[in-house]
Amino acid sequence: MEKTRYPIWFLGTVLAAITALAGFNVWAEHFILAHPVGGSVQTLSGFERAVKPAWLEAVQPELVFVGSSRVRDAFDASITAPPACRPTRRAAWCRTL
Amino acid sequence: MPFNSYPYFLFLGLAVLGFRLLEASALTGRRVFLLLASYAFYAWWRADFLLLLCGSTLVNYVLGREIEQRRARGKARRPLLIAGLLFNLGLIATFKYDSLLVGTANQIFDIGLPLPNFFLPLAISFFTFEQISYLLDADAGKTHNYSLLDYALFVAYFPHLIAGPIVRHNDLIPQFRQLRARNDDLAAGVTLFTIGLAKKSLIADNLAPFADAIFNAAGRGTHLGATDSWLGMLFFAFQIYFDFSAYSDMALGSSLMLGVRLPVNFHSPYKAASIIEFWRRWHISLSAFLRDYLYISLGGNRQGPARRYLNLFITMLLGGLWHGASWTFMLWGGLHGLYLSINHAFRHGTRDMRLPAALKLPLHAASVALTFLMTSLAWIVFRAPDLASARNVAEGLAGMGHSAVVSFSPLAAVALLLLFGMVWFMPNSMELMWRHNPALPSPYENQHVTPAPFLSWKPTPLNAAAYGLLCIVAVLALSNLKPFIYFQF
């Protein structure tokens, strides 16, 4: 009975889920970049934002790279892809990085 | 092209689509299509080694046919069989065991030979064993005048090519002669593939970082504490269980989508109540191969108990060495040989003992736990990069170290409880899919698939949607991609 339709239901569910995820991402990107109070891009993890400042305070290192995520990436051979950046009129952040 | 990668998903989709589009064409066309697809699958990794696969196939086919014909005419065939075995063993020795052989010779005789640096061809252990079984069966009169196309497809058929199951010619070639794409096979194959993908990306790959961290620390010489060692051993025991189980499901599922059933290769091995039973549930096709072509050839149990235990030990030692050119794999095989010998001796010694009914369940539970513990201890040498690291982990189990690479958090406790619950109490994928019978039966007579008491699969729209969602979740977890452990063999 449903044996013929099973692959169709399966693939239909997969396609629906992909569409929903892609739709959410498009909406989220638009929401973030075109927010009325100004576009922002959060690329740093919670560690970089919240824990690292306190950790630096405790360690008191002699040298600190400001904007360290980019500097760190520059020295990390395993990270080869450049940060995602799509210059638009609204997303001024991209040109100023 | 690992099974858990986007290129493989695309390749498999195109292979299934092409196969179904050829439904109306002649059977030969479908077989040629599958052979070309299989060669493309192998060449994706390294095209030059495709020549090795094709050359090995051709030589074995010619030898096998000649042996078959000489047998039919009553002529001597032993030299051809020996030549075939030497060819196959020489091939695997050259590419896989060259460094071990030369390195050991250098150590023992201090002769300073240069270490060869051959690149290990993917799947050489698998396609060599399959072809050895073909030659031995041709000599025994069990082959049936196969065409080169049938034989080449049997060797190269992509769902089993890279990491098994180790198939026999009579498992696959009769199916190739009546290839037919069926919708119910496609439905069951997609589901089985999804179950495997979920096991791999959601469970095995998430256990790997913990096991890796602990074994890498052992490799660096850190003296592991008891918590680290026990967690490392348990996490790796579960990682390899779900990794190999996932691979087996994905191989069987890929093949089923094309209407071909592969032999069952994995059947809840941690539910085994003895080491003998463990090897009838773990890598079934390898243990059946070792039994039929090595253990029995050595004399099996026909020459008294002492010789039987020696044969078991040698068989498992070589089975361990089959996994890789390393002393750790040999020690792992030797440990299992020892376990099996003790298990057989114990069984022989207690064969007349009758247990009270009330003790059966507790003793069964204790046997399952003991079997799990012994196999997990053996996994330490399997996973450790060298013998010193394995010793480091083993000493940590006894509390002789002091490190704290990981901590035993409540989350780890919950994870372990869930994992034990899954491997001991959940039905396996063969039991879930029992209505469709997705695999060839186990070669061990008493290892039948019992229907799952719950969650049994039926091709309903609800199941299709549920497994479709599981597929998406598993695919989204693929960013943490790790190759299958058995791909290295």
In this predicted model, what pLDDT tens digit does every residue of B259-275 receive, in sequence order? 999 999 999 999 999 99
Partners of B463 on chain A (C-beta within 8 Å) are: 6
Task: Please tell me whether residues A33 and A45 are part of one structural domain.
Answer: no
Does residue A90 register a pLDDT over 70? Answer: no
pLDDT given for residue B23 in this prediction: 83
Cβ burial, residue B76 (10 Å; 0-12/13-18/19+): exposed
Helix (H, G, I), strand (E, B) or coil at B302: coil
Compute the distance between CA of residue B398 and CA of residue B332 in angstroms, rounded to an integer: 20
Task: Please tell me whether residues A46 and A77 are part of one structural domain.
Answer: yes
Q: Is A92 on the interface with B (CB under 8 A)?
A: no
For residues A64-85, give the mean pLDDT.
51
Compute the distance between CA of residue B314 and CA of residue A56 in angstroms, rounded to an integer: 59
Yes or no, beta carbons of A14 and B471 under 8 Å apart: yes
User: Looking at B160, B169, B323, B336, which residue is catalytic?
Assistant: B323
pLDDT given for residue A46 in this prediction: 61
Q: Is A9 on the interface with B (CB under 8 A)?
A: yes
Residue B323 annotated as catalytic? yes
| CA angle, residues B441, B239, B264, in degrees to nearest 5 | 5
Residue-range domain boundaries for chain B: 6-179, 185-488
Task: Please tell me whether residues A92 and A75 are part of one structural domain.
Answer: yes
Task: Please tell me whether residues A1 and A27 are part of one structural domain.
Answer: yes
Q: What is the per-residue burial (b if ≥16 Cβ within 10 Å, else e) of B440-468?
A: bebbbeeeebeebeeeebebeeebbbbbb
What is the extent of the structural domain holding A30? 1-37
Compute the distance between CA of residue A9 and CA of residue B464 in angstroms, rounded to an integer: 6
Yes or no, beta carbons of A13 and B459 under 8 Å apart: no
pLDDT given for residue A39 in this prediction: 62
H-state helical runs in B74-123: 78-96, 98-109
Shortest alpha-carbon distance between residue A78 and chain B (Å): 15
Nearest to B467 among A3, A10, A21 (CB): A10
Task: Please tell me whether residues A28 and A48 are part of one structural domain.
Answer: no
Report the DSSP beta bridge partners of residue B440.
Answer: B263
Task: Please tell me whether residues A67 and A95 are part of one structural domain.
Answer: yes
Task: Please tell me whether residues A5 and A31 are part of one structural domain.
Answer: yes
Chosen for mutation from B190, B433, B473, B479 (greatest number of chain A CBs closer than 10 Å) is B190
Compute the distance between CA of residue B65 and CA of residue B59 in angstroms, rounded to an integer: 10
Task: Please tell me whether residues A29 and A46 are part of one structural domain.
Answer: no
pLDDT given for residue A26 in this prediction: 86
pTM > 0.90: yes or no: no
Yes or no, beta carbons of B468 and A18 under 8 Å apart: no
Task: Please tell me whether residues A45 and A78 are part of one structural domain.
Answer: yes
Residue with more model confidence, A89 or B122:
B122
For residue B167, give the amino acid letter.
V
Task: Please tell me whether residues A47 and A32 are part of one structural domain.
Answer: no
For residues A9-38, give the mean pLDDT.
85
Count: domains in chain A: 2
Q: Is A24 on the interface with B (CB under 8 A)?
A: no
Task: Please tell me whether residues A28 and A68 are part of one structural domain.
Answer: no
For residues A4-14, give the mean pLDDT.
89
Yes or no, beta carbons of A12 and B468 under 8 Å apart: yes
**% of chain A exceeding 70 in pLDDT:** 43
Nearest to B97 by CA among B287, B297, B329: B329
Compute the distance between CA of residue B102 and CA of residue B111 in angstroms, rounded to an integer: 10
pLDDT given for residue A80 in this prediction: 45
pLDDT given for residue B214 in this prediction: 87
CA dist B442 to B30, B223, B262, B276, B427, Å? 28, 43, 10, 15, 17
Task: Please tell me whether residues A64 and A79 are part of one structural domain.
Answer: yes
Residues of chain B with pLDDT under 50: none
Q: Is A18 on the interface with B (CB under 8 A)?
A: yes
Yes or no, beta carbons of B471 and A6 under 8 Å apart: no
Q: If pLDDT is split at 50, 70 and 90, which confidence band does A66 have? A: low
